[in-house]
Structure 1
Amino acid sequence: MQNKNIYNIFNIVIVFAMTMFFSCQSIKKKKQSYSISEETPIAEVFEVNLKYTDSGRLAAILKTPKILDFSNKDFAYFEFPEGVVLDIIDKEGKVSVVRSDYAISYKQTGLIDMRGNVDIKTADSTHLQAQQLYWDQNINWIFTDQPYKSYLPDGTINEADGFDANQDFTILNSRINDGVMFIKE
């Protein structure tokens, strides 16, 4: 009988020791799996259809296949490696559409860098094409030093090597222009 009790106690000690051994090992593995390099995003989001409202009014719709969140970096940013489509809706309900093949948005500066086939179609039928554009969200200003081409509703075509403008394109400063303008006699 005494041998049986010792045998049971021995089995209990072994089971307890094995449990402790494996549980410590799994904690170590969990800690290792949570260490994320700054080179990898903290989060990935797929098939985004984000609606932004301002005082209850739909102001913008962002669509993108993928967002990478690098807020774990010292200079945090969101990357849109497969491009974006942004519908901007004004107070009258008119829609302007911005597209690009790639975009990156910096949190600290409010600057958005759009690259590759950047295409803007405003609600008043102005059409602008460029390979790269920057949008400063803090001051609502758009600019580029890259060549661009614009088509205005009156048929005017403008090509230039850079511009800066307010978000509504009511102020436009263009550099080194070449284009076609129709003038009534």
Structure 2
Amino acid sequence: MQPKKYNIVINIVMAFVVTMFFSCQSKKTKSQGYLISEEAPIAEAFEVNLKYTDSGRLTAVLKTPKVLDYTNKSFGYHEFPDGIVLDIIDKEGKVSVVTSDYAISYQLTGLIDMRGNVDILTADSTHLQAEQLYWDKNINWVFTDYPYKSYMSDGNINEADGFDANQDFTILNSRSNDGLIFIEE
């Protein structure tokens, strides 16, 4: 009688072990190929020269040594860790150049954050320098709370602790200004 009970228990244990063994599955599938960290970008691009067009007209050229694509995140973004050079071309073909040491572009909000030696040289020779600058591409608005310095084409110089302006700088709200302004008598 004892061996019969022993065989029944062994069969039940074996059935349980076999069931557990075959019910376990790997979370990695063959289509995944590589395991990717959730912190890693889904794509990287090097030596990028990207041209933007609107209705067949070239409107901007973005050059950067490296782009990291994090659009797989819930708040997706593109990171430019080695900086950017952006040529903006207006309807008359005049070019304004924006450079920075670092930039990040958020997909959902349309906000671009540029940091480190931000430099803007407009088509009319206005030159603006700042440590950080934001551009809201949805409403074409530029702003910063950091100190900046601007050199106007007429020789005027303005320094302040922050500003906000439309992207053409025809509307400019500046805070705590110091500067040099030439006035004709």
Task: Give the TM-score of the pair, scaled to structure 1.
Answer: 0.83
Deviation of the 1:38 alpha carbon: 2.1
Match in the other structure for 1:165: 165
Deviation of the 1:173 alpha carbon: 0.3
Query: Aligned equivalents of 2:108 and 2:32: distance in 1?
Result: 30
- Is 1:87 paired with 2:65? no
Query: Aligned equivalents of 2:72 and 2:52: distance in 1?
Result: 24
Matches within 5 A, 1:141-180: 141-180=141-180
Query: Aligned equivalents of 2:30 and 2:64: distance in 1?
Result: 32
Q: Secondary structure at the match of 2:72?
A: coil
Deviation of the 1:36 alpha carbon: 1.8
Deviation of the 1:35 alpha carbon: 3.1
Unaligned runs of 5+ in 1: 1-27
Matches within 5 A, 1:31-70: 33-70=33-70
Identity of matched residues, %: 80
Q: Secondary structure at the match of 1:35?
A: coil
Deviation of the 1:37 alpha carbon: 2.0
Q: Secondary structure at the match of 1:125?
A: coil
Unaligned runs of 5+ in 2: 1-27
Deviation of the 1:32 alpha carbon: 7.0
Matches within 5 A, 1:100-179: 100-179=100-179
Query: Aligned equivalents of 1:120 and 1:85: distance in 2?
Result: 10
Higher helix proportion (structure 1 or 2)? 1
Match in the other structure for 1:12: none
Q: Secondary structure at the match of 1:41?
A: coil
Q: Secondary structure at the match of 2:113?
A: strand
- State the AA in 1 paired with 2:117: N
Query: Aligned equivalents of 1:57 and 1:99: distance in 2?
Result: 22
How well do the aligned residues superpose, as a CA RMSD in angstroms? 1.6
Task: Give the TM-score of the pair, scaled to structure 2.
Answer: 0.83
Query: Aligned equivalents of 1:30 and 1:86: distance in 2?
Result: 41
Deviation of the 1:31 alpha carbon: 6.3
Instruction: Provide Cα deviations, 1:5-42, integer angstroms capped at 9, x if missing partner.
Output: xxxxxxxxxxxxxxxxxxxxxxx685675332221000
Number of equivalenced pairs: 159
Query: Aligned equivalents of 1:165 and 1:31: distance in 2?
Result: 49
Q: Secondary structure at the match of 2:74?
A: coil
Instruction: Provide Cα deviations, 1:27-82, integer angstroms capped at 9, x if missing partner.
Output: x6856753322210000000000011111111000000000000111110000000
